[in-house]
Amino acid sequence: MTIPHQTEVDITQDVEALRERFTRTQELYREVSALLFFRYGVTPTANKLYQLVRKGSMSAPTDALNKFWADIREKSRTRIEHPDLPDTLKTAAGELVAQLWTKAQGAADESLNTYQSEADDRVQIANALVAKSETKLESKIQELQNANSQLEAASKTINTLREEIAMAGTTNDSLNASLEQSEMENGLLKQKIEALRIEFALEVEKLREALEIAEKRFQANEKRILLDLDRERMAVVRLNKELDTSISSALRSGEKHKDEILELHQALGDCRHQNGHLTEALQSKAASLEHAEFEINRMRIDLKKSSENVALVRKESGRLRKKLETIQKNPKKSTRAIAMK
């Protein structure tokens, strides 16, 4: 049954007024049922009541509606005593007759003062209606029994659905709790990942800074080695010139001086070879930042070896300088000493 929009608005307003008067849920549902049935002529249902009141569980409007219909039946019940009729038939017949009698009595009371002359006719019409209703009573009783059977089956289905809804609610609560726990753990994991990311970024920045410092030190050492090599090269050139000038006066020591020069050239070649290795190591370190720590350690080892080699070269160069200084100061004596050796 479709209810007009304005009627729906009026019903909603009346329900809001009843909320202020009745605070108990069952009383409120019972009053709303009476409002729908008696004022607006609408048959109340559990769903309709719950849509209007929105209070309590779904069983609250059902219980209130059952009690409302029980009160209506009790107030309008008329007992029919007949030894051959079953109790259920007596009850149904009594209720039906009571309904018809109530309608007829109401109509008679309303028109009693103004239409007294027509009272007998109206009574005859009412009696005819009663007789006609009695002929349909058996079919109505059968329909009522069928309706009761369907109602019982529907009640069982509703109880089953309620149990399933309760179980689903419990499962839903458990799933919500698990979801909240998972979200909490996920948040903690995100915080740990963020902390690890920041820590990793700091470590990478430290390694980058350490690599830059090591590169600067390596470049400074390389420059210093190149300067030392240039000085040694100039010293060798100067020594070659001095040897060339002294060869003419010291033929017997020339071969020895040539051997020393060859050894010096060989040491210089070794230094250049080692310098090439250092340059390649520097390029490899700059190309792979992910292995910065390993490359830094390797570079330190290479630098240490280079420093030792440079120290050896310097030591050898110092020894050669002393020899050259000795030769320059006393060429003849040095020539004789070389010859004696």
Residue 21 pLDDT: 92
Q: Which has more pLDDT, 83 or 302?
A: 302
Residue 56 pLDDT: 85
| Chain mean position to CA 226 | 60
Q: What is the mean pLDDT of residues 174-185?
A: 83
pLDDT at 210 over 70: yes
In sequence order, the 6+-apart residues with CB closer than 8 A to the CB of 268 are 229, 232, 233, 236, 313
Residue 47 pLDDT: 93
pLDDT at 85 over 70: no
Residue 155 pLDDT: 77
Cα distance between residue 285 and residue 254, in whole Å: 46
Q: What is the mean pLDDT of residues 259-281?
A: 78
b/e map of 57-90 (b: 16 or more CB within 10 Å)? Answer: eeebbbbbbeebeeebeeeeeeebeeeeeeeebe
Residue 63 pLDDT: 93
**Confidence tier at 101 by pLDDT (50, 70, 90):** very low
Phi, psi of 136, rounded to the nearest 5 degrees: -95, 0
Question: What totals of helices (H) and strands (E) does the chain contain, helices first?
Answer: 10, 0
Percentage, residues of the chain above pLDDT 90: 16
Residue 64 pLDDT: 93
Residue 102 pLDDT: 55
- DSSP letter for each residue of 314-336: HHHHHHHHHHHHHHHH-HHHHHH
Residue 106 pLDDT: 47
Strand ranges, E, within 224-317? none
Q: What is the mean pLDDT of residues 261-276?
A: 78
**Confidence tier at 87 by pLDDT (50, 70, 90):** low
Task: Please identify which residue in the block is written with the tokens 């009026």.
Answer: 10
State which amino acid sits at residue 234. M
pLDDT at 37 over 60: yes
* Least reliable range by pLDDT among 42-46, 75-79, 288-292, 316-320: 75-79
**Confidence tier at 33 by pLDDT (50, 70, 90):** very high
**Confidence tier at 99 by pLDDT (50, 70, 90):** low
- For residue 282 the two structure tokens come to 């520097």
Burial of 92 (0-12, 13-18, 19+ CB in 10 A): buried
Closest of 71, 68, 53, 60 to residue 17, by C-alpha: 53
Cβ pair 11, 49 in contact under 8 A: no
Query: How many CB atoms are closer than 10 A to CB 263?
Result: 12
Cα distance between residue 146 and residue 139, in whole Å: 11
In the chain, domain spans: 5-185, 204-340
Work out whether the CA dihedral 183, 187, 188, 193 comes out positive or negative: positive
Look at the chain and count its residues.
341
Cα distance between residue 137 and residue 143, in whole Å: 10
Tens digit of each residue's pLDDT (9 = 90 or more) over 247-268: 677 678 768 767 876 886 788 6
Closest of 284, 280, 304 to residue 294, by C-alpha: 284
Tens digit of each residue's pLDDT (9 = 90 or more) over 317-326: 888 888 888 8
Cα distance between residue 96 and residue 133, in whole Å: 8
Cβ pair 232, 268 in contact under 8 A: yes
Residue 14 pLDDT: 94
